[in-house]
Structure 1
Amino acid sequence: MLICLSASHKNSSFDVLEKLSVGANDTAGGILERHPTLVGAVVVATCNRFEAYLDLDEPLGSSPLMAVHAAIDGVSASTGVAVDVLRATLDLVHGSSVAEHLFAVTSGLESVVVGEGEIAGQVRRSLEQARLSRTTSPELERLFQRASQTSRGVKNRTGIGAAGRSLVRLALELAESRITDWAQIRVLLIGTGRYAGASLAALRDLGAEDVRVYSPSGRAHKFATSHQITAVAESGFAIEAAEADLILTCTTADTHVIDAALLRSGRALSLQLPAAEARTLPSCPITDAATEIPRRLIIDLGLPRNVDPDVTDLAGVELLDLETIRIHAPLEELNATSDARLLVGRAARKFSAVAEEQSLAPAVVALRSYIFDILDGEIERARNRGDNSEQTEAALRHLAGVLLHTPMVRSRELAREGEQAAFLTGLDALFDIQVELPAAGSAATIAEIGPAAS
């Protein structure tokens, strides 16, 4: 049975993700030492994600509760993150959902910047590390190899690579027609979370050099230090907002962080500064493409909105929000994510169907062995009676194949429907064949796990 314990930018703080990444290389081995039914582990750790993919060798109907708790203990021991923090943070993905989750992750659909290509290489290197550490398993090998194939298919068959530049880059592309020299503009980045790093990278790619960051939650200093930019304190926020040529907001705040009143007060405070501190506005005008009138541009990537639409009541202020950006975005880029998820879902269903069919393999082998043992006995008796003809043997083998055809087809159908028990019951009732299937824990038992369950 496959299980994934997942912490990412969607459900975990930067501090927790940072701690998890420190001990990631030793985590897989530590997990496997904790419980005998854990037979494989691959850990994917990036700056925005920590995931442990686990292979549990559990008999049919067994609860994986103890194994999952043991795995969490192993992660805690390797990374130093407290068990209670992990149980409150980690999402649990199980059964057939694991393949769809990993395929989506590898295709960049779960990344901070949707469609980014770096994650595919990181997932591939995670499998290579597991091989070196001897912590992988045949089922995890199949899962990760299929994930890489799916990622390549998604990139080749959709526009996800272009969409992967995301709304951040689409917005900046719209802004680019108004900006003559990115190196001269003053940028205020608001937020340090989901899109902040991607936004900063995109700004730097365009040549922006004077970038400052403000965080409503007080994380600006840490973000600024790690990215070598200037942090803006709460006391200077209004002035900085009024003096910036470009403001880009990407915070999860549920109230407006920029509105017309803030910009007015910031401008008034700016005018009261000593001449040595005041900034001559604008230093590098952002111009309207049609009129060449100097503008101040605000890009709002927040959902809910970070910027009150009343800012456009101020002279010279232009607002690009998600709705505006989507109107201007190429249609194929907006559809790319939906198309990619359809491909991922299809690949995951195919992966799960194969896995379900393989789950009855021991029972199918037992039935075939039973039939062919009888067949070999009958052929031997025919030979002892003096019937050594190849036609007789061929006829008997053909008959065995015909008799086995329907049970083989039904085994695949029942396995895909999750009705393995029906096939096993039939074998026992008709032929007195008892088979115990490995690695087939039920989804119902996952509910017992508690806080870590998704």
Structure 2
Amino acid sequence: MGEFPTDLQHFFVAGISYKKSDSAVRSRFAISNDQYEQILHAAKSRGITELFVLSTCNRTEIYGVARDIEQLVSLICEATGQSADEFRNFAYLLRGEDATQHLFEVAAGLDSQILGDYEIVGQIKLAVKFSKERSGIGPFIERLFNQVLQTSKLIKNNTALSSGTVSVSFAAIQYLKEQVPDVADKTVLLIGTGKIGRNTCKNLIDYLGCQNITLINRTHEKAEELARELNIEALHSSHLNQALAQADIIVVAANAPEPIVSAAHLTGSHNQWIIDLSIPNNVHTDVASLPGKQLLNVDELSRMKDENLLKRQAEVPKALQIIADQTAEFLEWCRMRRQLAVLRVVKLKLEEIHTSTLTTNPELQQWVYNTTLASSDDAASRIQKVLNTMAAKMRVKNQRGCHYLEAINDFIAFGAN
């Protein structure tokens, strides 16, 4: 397998998102930590040393420096056991500047289902951290990642794109407020106390005034810890069926590979509102067909428009201008990095020409011994002059092949003068 340079033209992103795929499709391509480990291991065996995977409820994306984009598609599909052809049916495959632009827009919340959703920044940080801890991040992605974080911060501080609370979990709170009569008095069951579950629980209390909340988590100690903090109740998972039957509102923010709530659990006749914030979906779709049961998943919640949407839309041009300024800075770094690589190669070639000429030309070698004009110091000075001239020309116009030939001619010319 041939090597490939770590540069912009070998940087790709292959992904699917809510734009072309529903939650059921995205569930099949969602990446767990074990699968992430598998991807990193397989990538290294194929010569891919820089990549990270972003897998959220709205998207699964793999960013990497590779020989071609099909390498990244294969890594995702092999890890998930899904068809590459199906993936391509829903996927976007981007390269170079288009791939970097996409990452900047994702991190800014411009590509989120709910415009301006700032939670994605934390998810990108975790994704890169996971890869970096396993030696999956190199200089190129490290620099890009830092520029992306800086850009996201500038947008948050200098625009109103993320004004208000715009996460999917808060959209669930808005839905309950609008649709559930006397919501503060309802019995709430929240399954899953990870970041999304924790945020949702606090919003239930702070914004809706709910107090009759019961937590259930796979690791009971985590549920107990949050329950103590918020002065609510936690039950062991063995009580799940009973809690499901009794609750008025059920919020599922777990991370199970298959549905943990189905129609068989909800046989009561009273009205229940069930919100599934999980990807893969943790509430079976058969629940929606039950009388008196209202089921919403992340796709439906994300389509709900909140009162801040128009304000945030007006901020999009400002955010895009900040991204343009920052991407220009990153692309300049890429250009300078490429030029330095070319200059290093040219320098080695000129040194080789100098040494080769002395070795193969006895008359010139004797002349060198008798003059200071062709001393090693003078040769180094001539080479540096040539490189300086070449670098100046490359800054004006990118014609690396032409400048390479010019550099050799300049070196010879300097020696003749």
Relative to the length of structure 2, the TM-score reads 0.59
1:50 aligns with 2:60: yes
C-alpha contact (below 8 Å) 1:43/1:50 kept by paired residues: yes
What letter corresponds to residue 147 of structure 2 in structure 1? R
How far did 1:200 drift?
11
How far did 1:96 drift?
0.9
How far did 1:42 drift?
1.0
How far did 1:157 drift?
1.8
1:410 aligns with 2:393: yes
Long gaps (5+) in structure 2: 1-9, 188-198, 211-247, 252-258, 264-272, 359-363, 411-417
C-alpha contact (below 8 Å) 1:9/1:48 kept by paired residues: yes
Aligned to 1:41: 51
| Whole-Å separation in 2 of the counterparts to 1:250 and 1:14 | 8
| Whole-Å separation in 1 of the counterparts to 2:80 and 2:55 | 12
Aligned to 2:39: 28
> Identity over the aligned pairs, expressed in percent?
19
Aligned to 2:112: 111
Structure scoring higher RCO (CA < 8 A, sep ≥ 6) equals 1
How far did 1:53 drift?
0.7
1:224 aligns with 2:274: yes
Cα separation, partners in 2 of 1:205 and 1:39, compared to 1, 3 Å: same
Aligned to 1:293: none
How far did 1:106 drift?
1.7
How far did 1:180 drift?
11
Aligned to 2:20: 11
How far did 1:123 drift?
1.0
1:424 aligns with 2:401: yes
| Whole-Å separation in 1 of the counterparts to 2:162 and 2:200 | 17
Task: Count residues in correspondence.
Answer: 320
C-alpha contact (below 8 Å) 1:40/1:135 kept by paired residues: yes
How far did 1:55 drift?
0.5
Q: CA RMSD in A?
A: 5.1
| Whole-Å separation in 1 of the counterparts to 2:51 and 2:262 | 37
| Whole-Å separation in 1 of the counterparts to 2:289 and 2:154 | 47
Cα separation, partners in 2 of 1:161 and 1:33, compared to 1, 3 Å: same
Cα separation, partners in 2 of 1:335 and 1:384, compared to 1, 3 Å: farther
Cα separation, partners in 2 of 1:80 and 1:139, compared to 1, 3 Å: same
| Whole-Å separation in 1 of the counterparts to 2:249 and 2:388 | 69
| Whole-Å separation in 2 of the counterparts to 1:346 and 1:105 | 16
What letter corresponds to residue 4 of structure 1 in structure 2? V
C-alpha contact (below 8 Å) 1:375/1:400 kept by paired residues: no
Aligned to 1:82: 83
Long gaps (5+) in structure 1: 59-63, 187-197, 214-218, 242-247, 253-298, 303-320, 388-392, 434-454
What SS class does the counterpart of residue 81 from structure 1 fall into?
A: coil
C-alpha contact (below 8 Å) 1:31/1:70 kept by paired residues: no
How far did 1:124 drift?
1.3
| Whole-Å separation in 1 of the counterparts to 2:75 and 2:313 | 41
What letter corresponds to residue 91 of structure 1 in structure 2? Y
Aligned to 1:131: 132
The match for 2:11 among 2, 11, 30 is 2
| Whole-Å separation in 2 of the counterparts to 1:24 and 1:394 | 57
How far did 1:233 drift?
5.0
| Whole-Å separation in 1 of the counterparts to 2:92 and 2:41 | 20
What SS class does the counterpart of residue 315 from structure 2 fall into?
A: helix
What SS class does the counterpart of residue 64 from structure 2 fall into?
A: strand
| Whole-Å separation in 2 of the counterparts to 1:50 and 1:206 | 31
What letter corresponds to residue 427 of structure 1 in structure 2? Y
How far did 1:185 drift?
9.3
How far did 1:301 drift?
6.0
